[in-house]
């Protein structure tokens, strides 16, 4: 995080009741860019993420969870994009991310999407999201958003689809800007790709699909919804296969 080509940024820590040495390690860093360490009781991702945004002073926000990775030019690329006068109509920007194991071994990604560098409206992106059966925009480390747009969109809500729900809410406020670059990596482990969690994720994506169809019937067609449900089912099994192969080798 600290090894960024752009050095002018703040770091706020919202600790969700960790029981390890996380806070002690953070406090050992003598870096004035770490402006706030907020230690919460165990509250879950929804309340923790909303707290992190609330205590941040910057007008541009980026969430990083646990050991996710952002590459050297990540912040510079995102800030340049969102501060450009050509992109004032964009509520957030996003980029392609790699998928890696706990040991930083690159993995095959069943939901990877390489969006060309351009702006996307709700009507552009929502059908693609639904048809993907997953989260093609990416997890929080693949997105940077305007705090003002976040406040208009509402807060983070939910569990597995918590980030995807927010990206759609931000699209209801303004455009999304794809940077067309690989700027981060999402770290997975055998538990996060295990059978029990994959079943929960399938159910939540199924619910997300139906909600988007009901909320935006003029944008999401029945065919979009059907394709998404099928892909969600296929990708659930693909993840299980990949996890067995990767985490045994």
Residue 158 to residue 64: CA distance in whole angstroms: 18
Q: Smallest Cα–Cα separation from 99: which of 243, 249, 198, 205?
A: 243
Average pLDDT, whole number, for the chain? Answer: 87
In 3D space, the residue among 241, 205, 198 whose CA is nearest the CA of residue 225 turns out to be 205
Give yes or no for residue 109 having a pLDDT over 60.
Answer: yes
Is 51 inside a domain boundary?
no
Q: How many domains is the chain partitioned into structurally?
A: 1
Q: Does 13 reside within a domain? A: no
How confident is the model over 1-24, as a mean pLDDT?
Answer: 87
pLDDT digit string, tens, across residues 179-192: 999 999 988 765 55
Which residue would you say has higher pLDDT here, 30 or 147?
147
- Residue 49's Cβ-count burial label (10 Å; 0-12, 13-18, 19+) is buried
Burial 124-155 (b: 16+ CB within 10 A, else e): ebbbebbbbbbbbbbbbbbbbbbeebbeebee
What pLDDT is recorded for position 22?
A: 82
Residue-level pLDDT at 190: 57
Other CB atoms within a 10 A radius of the CB of residue 221 amount to: 14
Asked if residue 168 is part of any domain, the answer here is: yes
Which SS3 state, helix, strand or coil, does residue 214 take? helix
* pLDDT above 50 (res 165): yes
Domain-embedded: residue 195: yes
Whether the Cβ atoms of residue 208 and residue 223 lie closer than 8 Å to each other? no
CB-based contacts of 2: which residues, under 8 Å, 6+ apart?
Answer: 29, 31, 33
d(CA 15, CA 17): 6
List the domain range (segments joined by +) for residue 155. Answer: 62-242
Q: Is residue 236 predicted with pLDDT exceeding 80?
A: no
Whether the predicted pLDDT of 195 surpasses 50: no
34-60, pLDDT tens digit by residue?
Answer: 888 888 888 888 999 999 999 999 999
Mean pLDDT for the stretch of residues 139-155: 96
Q: Does any domain span residue 16?
A: no
Tokens of residue 183, six digits: 């700027």
Question: Has residue 143 been placed in a domain?
Answer: yes
- Spatial separation of the C-alpha atoms in residues 158 and 165, rounded to whole Å: 8
How many residues can be counted in the chain?
Answer: 249
| pLDDT score of 241 | 58
The answer to whether position 36 is within a domain reads no
pTM, to two decimals: 0.90
Q: Which residue has the tokens 């303004």?
A: 174
7 found inside a domain: no
- Give the CATH number, domain containing residue 231: 3.90.550.10
């Amino acid at each position: 995080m600290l090894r960024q080509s752009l050095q002018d940024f703040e770091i706020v820590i919202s600790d969700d009741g960790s029981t390890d040495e996380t806070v002690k390690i953070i406090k050992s860093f003598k870096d004035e860019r770490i402006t706030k360490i907020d230690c919460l009781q165990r509250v879950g991702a929804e309340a923790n993420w909303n707290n992190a945004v609330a205590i941040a002073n910057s007008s541009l926000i980026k969430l990083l969870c646990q050991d996710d990775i952002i590459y050297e030019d990540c912040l510079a690329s995102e800030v340049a994009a969102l501060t450009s006068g050509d992109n004032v109509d964009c509520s957030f920007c996003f980029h392609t991310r790699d998928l890696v194991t706990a040991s930083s071994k690159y993995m095959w990604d069943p939901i990877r999407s390489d969006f060309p560098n351009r702006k996307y409206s709700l009507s552009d992106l929502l059908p693609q999201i639904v048809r993907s059966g997953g989260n093609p925009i990416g997890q929080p480390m693949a997105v940077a958003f305007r705090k003002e747009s976040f406040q208009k969109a509402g807060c983070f809500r939910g569990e597995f689809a918590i980030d995807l729900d927010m990206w759609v809410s931000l699209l209801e406020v303004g455009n999304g800007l794809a940077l067309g670059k690989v700027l981060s990596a999402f770290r997975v482990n055998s538990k996060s790709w295990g059978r029990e969690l994959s079943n929960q994720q399938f159910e939540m994506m199924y619910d997300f699909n139906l909600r988007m169809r009901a909320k935006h019937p003029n944008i999401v067609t029945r065919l979009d919804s059907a394709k998404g449900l099928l892909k969600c089912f296929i990708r659930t099994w693909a993840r299980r296969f990949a996890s067995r192969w990767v985490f045994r080798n």
